[in-house]
Structure 1
Amino acid sequence: MPLDPFLQPLVASMPPTPDEIADFPAFRAQEQQLGEAVYVPLMEAAPEIASRRVVGIPVDGGTIDVKVFHPFGEGPHPVHLYIHGGGWVGGSAKDKLIDIPCAERAAGADCVVVAVDYRKAPEHPFPTGLNDCYAALLWVVEHAEELGIDPDHITIGGGSAGGNLAAALALKARDENGPRIAFQLLEVPALDLTGGQPSYQRFATGYGLTLAMAEMCVRYYVPDPQEVTNPYASPLLAPDLSGLPPAHIMSAEYDPLSDDGELYAKRLTDAGVPATFSLQRGHIHVSATFTKVMAASRAWRDEVLTVLRDAHKTPAA
């Protein structure tokens, strides 16, 4: 399918992406401003929900924040642990760019959503972000009554780097006999940090996320090249994917990461894990949330909500 008509002038006007970042606080501030000025106006407003609140939780070496979104209605509710993207170096669970889709999931899938503001590279390289997400998963289970959630209905999800962390979190929870996860929803996930799949070259430039920027983010997140093939960094390269939670994986057609998602779904299926894959035709890496201006983005959101509603009906095995 051709690139969505709305995206054609957008990708043509996108500024070049950096190959290196000299000042990370300034980069993060600029990314937040870009999101507020360019991307948020392309999103439908967040639906009404019962409440939002930010909670600090302990992690190894410090604290992180999680943002908790409560739907209307009596609990206990299912819970969805959401991990935001940003190349492991940027983004925040407290950004409006993340607030809107989390509120949509709370309202549309009738679940409590807990968004994790994990620590960022390069100040906190691999595996700190993953460990923070695991600490958040444990915190959710430990505070189930306070949160009004059913710990037998835990789903996890994330986009881009967040999809990477969600997939790695599922592996870590399996390996460490951690909390049971009922389902994983991975959107535009980066699953092979070696960049070895053909789509990295096929869509290396011209579609927003470039190969050069993806490689830069990997260098900051995993500074030791020998760790890039660690399954917790590159879940697609894990030798054993059996025993993982069922998955639904959504990749954008015009995205360097598109092959990662499709191959991971196949590997999960081959390992006996129920997994489905959905290629979002006409999309680029960042266009899932453009719900105000793209019918295809509204369809993406509808698919997410349908998948989560279905997953929340079935507890983890």
Structure 2
Amino acid sequence: MPLDPFLEALLATLPPLPDEIDDFPAFRSNETAAAEALVAQLTEPAPEIKSRHVVSIPVDGGTIDLHVFTPFGAGPHPVHLYVHGGGWIGGSAKHKAIDILCAERAAGAGCVVVAVDYRKAPEHPFPAGLNDCYAALLWVTEHADQLGARHDLITIGGGSAGANLAAALTLKARDEAGPRLAFQLLEVPALDLTLGQPSHQRFATGYGLTLAAGEMCVRYYLASPEQATNPYVSPLLAPDLSGLPPAHIMSAEYDPLRDDGERYAERLTEAGVPATFSLHHGHIHISPGFTKAMTAAQRWREEAVAVLRRAHLTGQSPQGNRE
């Protein structure tokens, strides 16, 4: 399918992503301002939910914030732990786009959503962000009653770099006999940080996210290039994917990370893990949230919410779309 006509016009107006960053506070400030402007123009407002609040929790070497979204209705509710994107160097659970997404999933899927504001590289390189997410999972499990939530029905999800951390978290929880995760929802996931999949080259330029920007993010995230093959860095390269929670993976057609998602679904299935995959045609990496401007983004949102709702009821994902 051709690139969505709206995105063709938008791509011509987007500033190029940097290949290097000299001032990270300035980069993050500019990133936030640009993201807020896009959200104001292109994203539908958040639905009403019962409440939002922020909790600070201790982690090794500091503290992080968890943003908690509670739906209407009597609990206890399922819990969805959400990990935002941003190339491991940017993004935040405080961003308006994440607030909207989490409220949509709390309202639509009837769950408490907990968004993790993990620490960022290069100040906090791998494995700091992953360890922060694991600390959040432990905290949610231990404080489920306080959240009005079920400690026995926790799902994990994330977008882009956040989907990378979410997938890695399922491996870490399995390997360390940690809390059981019932399901994983991975959107536009980065799962091979060697950047060796065919789509990394096929869509290297011209579609917003570039291969050069991805290479930059990996350099800042990892202390050494050799870490790229660590299973907790590149879950797609993990030798053993057995025993992981069922998964639904959603990728964009015109995205350097497209093959990461499809191949991961295949590898999970080969390992005996129920996994489904949806390739969303006409999309680029950043377009799933453009619900005010694109009917296709509304369909993406509806699929993600439906997947979570079904996971809460049955523990399984619906069939994906491999067209």
Q: TM-score range by the shorter chain?
A: over 0.9
Task: Give TM-score, length-normalised by structure 1.
Answer: 0.99
Secondary structure of the structure 2 residue equivalent to 1:113: strand
Q: Report the Cα offset of residue 51 of structure 1.
A: 0.3
- 1:92 is aligned to 92
Matched, 1:126 2:157: no
Name the residue aligned to 1:290: 290
| Separation in structure 2 between the aligned mates of residue 48 and residue 151 of structure 1, nearest angstrom | 25
Instruction: Report if the CA contact (8 A) 2:246-2:315 is conserved.
Output: no
Q: By how many angstroms is 1:37 displaced?
A: 1.1
SS class of match (1:228): helix
1:315 Cα deviation from its structure 2 partner? 5.6
Any idea what the Cα deviations from partners look like across 1:118-152, whole Å, max 9, x if unmatched?
00000000000000000000000000100011111
| Match in the other structure for 1:2 | 2
Counterpart contact for 1:153–1:314, Cα < 8 Å: no
Q: Percent identity?
A: 76
User: Residue 110 of structure 2 aligns with which residue?
Assistant: 110
Deviation at residue 13 of structure 1 after TM alignment: 2.0
Tell me the SS of whatever aligns to 1:313.
Answer: helix
1:77-98, Cα deviation, whole Å (9 max, x unpaired): 0000000000000011011111
One-letter amino acid matched to 1:107: A
Q: Distance in 2 between matches of 1:242 and 1:233?
A: 17
Unaligned runs of 5+ in 1: none
Alignment partners' CA distance in 2, 1:303 and 1:296: 11
Where has structure 1 moved over 3 Å in runs of 4 or more? none
Q: Report matched runs for 1:148-167 at 5 Å.
A: 148-167=148-167
**1:169-184 pair list within 5 angstroms:** 169-184=169-184
Letter in 2 for 1:117: D
Q: Render the CA deviation track for 1:14-48: whole Å, top value 9, x for unaligned.
A: 21111100000000000000011123320000000
Match of 1:145 in 2: 145
Q: 1:25 to 1:272 in 2, by over 3 A?
A: same
Asked if structure 2 preserves the Cα contact closer than 8 Å seen for 1:40 and 1:97, the reply is: no
Measure the CA separation in 2 of the matches of 1:190 and 1:46.
Answer: 26
Give the number of aligned pairs. Answer: 316
Matched, 1:195 2:195: yes
Q: Which residue of 2 aligns with 1:271?
A: 271
Task: In structure 2, give the amino acid aligned to 1:83.
Answer: V
Q: Distance in 2 between matches of 1:216 and 1:281?
A: 27
Is 1:26 the counterpart of 2:26 in the alignment?
A: yes
In structure 2, stretches of 5+ residues that fail to align are: 317-323
For 2:223 and 2:90, locate their aligned partners in 1 and report how far apart those are by CA, in whole Å. Answer: 16
Aligned to 1:83: 83
> Which residue pairs with 1:256 in the alignment?
256
